[in-house]
Amino acid sequence: MGNILRCFKGEDSGGDHYPYYKPTSRPHYPPPPPAAPARHQQPLGPHGVTPSTVGVAALAHDLLNFESTSMVPDGLSQHVASSRKAQVKWYKNMLEAYKNTTPPPKTPVDASHLIARALHMIQRSDLEGILEFYNFPIPSLPTSSSNHQPSSLPEGVQFVLNTLPVYDKCIGDGDGFTAYVSTTDPRESANVPLEVHEMVIARTQARQCRDYQSADALLSSLDEAGYKIISCSDDEVLARKYRIRMRGIDAPELKMPYGKESRNALVKLIGGKSVKIYVYDLDQFGRYVGDIYCNNVFIQEQMLKNGHAWHFKTYDKRPEFARWEREAKSANRGLWASGNPEKPWDWRRDQRNARQEAIQVY
């Protein structure tokens, strides 16, 4: 009885016979949780906007700021490839569209469609970049708009090549090939050297005289001069040879894993077809570096999206290229199916080092 009384009074007898009677061992009930927001209602952010509409508010703020300062957001250039001058034009169009929209967009979907309508003439990659900048969904657009070649000459392009159909055997790997441009092309016709014209005439005369040995020798001389006589239907065309390096991507070398698959993918895209090449530069190996389009399809985009090449970040910073590579990698397409494929620039470095070591040993 004494023990029971001590337990009720909270006295400790030195033992623990009835711990559940101690005041300190009473069940602890946590405070009730805060009331949940009403169904379908999102908590308001610091500016009175919900998380899903913060991009809409940011767009309105940026357009208002642009109207007064003519300045575009600083971070936009990390998402698009076009120049700041082009971005200013975009915001002029978006501001005009925003003012003409009643009521103004209230959801990300509404804002996404407004931007798509205002900027329907820009490249798909830039449109996707600006939508990504505001975290807006990408609306359904015609597939061709993603791959449509530029309507005007892009900034930095030195000249454009319109080639004859590309031979399969002239495609070396997944990022390079040899192309031929007819000398009837206005750009080429004025630049054919006199000695090339003379060799063509001499070859024709040799063939008429059935001096095929001399004719073949003249063909070799033409090839050394960078020209080739190509049979097209029932005619022969004098064409200039161009070695092409695809800008912004790096494909596996033929001796690397997935090297042949990458080349075959490029063959399927351009083999036997004429291509348009926007030439930006000439590299250290004498190759013309450019963007390739075939039947309005941007070839680098297809190679990256399908996992046939890497984005060559060292030489090309276009954000859409990085995005297309991420898309292929996340889907385990092409070379990414192997998990951790060796990068071609690492492979080439190792090959160079091995050759140097072999020379030193020798």
The β-bridge partners of 176 are 173, 245
Structure tokens at 254: 């033929």
- Respond yes or no: is residue 6 known to be catalytic: no
Give the list of residues 6+ apart from residue 324 with CB closer than 8 angstroms, or none.
301, 304, 305, 311
Q: What is the DSSP string of 190-213?
A: TT--HHHHHHHHHHHHHHHTT-HH
Could you give the CA distance from residue 115 to residue 122 in angstroms, rounded to a whole number? 11
- Tokens 């009331």 map to which residue? 35
- Containing 294, the helix (H) or strand (E) segment is strand 288-294
Distance CA 163, CA 144 (A): 22
The Cβ-side half-sphere exposure at 111, using a 13 Å CA radius, reads 22
Of these residues, 124, 203, 240, 245, which one is catalytic? 245
Active site residue 124: no
Helix (H) or strand (E) holding 244: strand 235-246
253 among known catalytic residues: yes
Query: Which residue of the set 128, 203, 240, 253 is catalytic?
Result: 253
- DSSP symbol at 217: H
Question: Active-site residue among 207, 287, 323, 333?
Answer: 287
C-beta atoms surrounding 144 within 10 Å: 11
Instruction: Give catalytic residue positions.
Output: 245, 253, 287
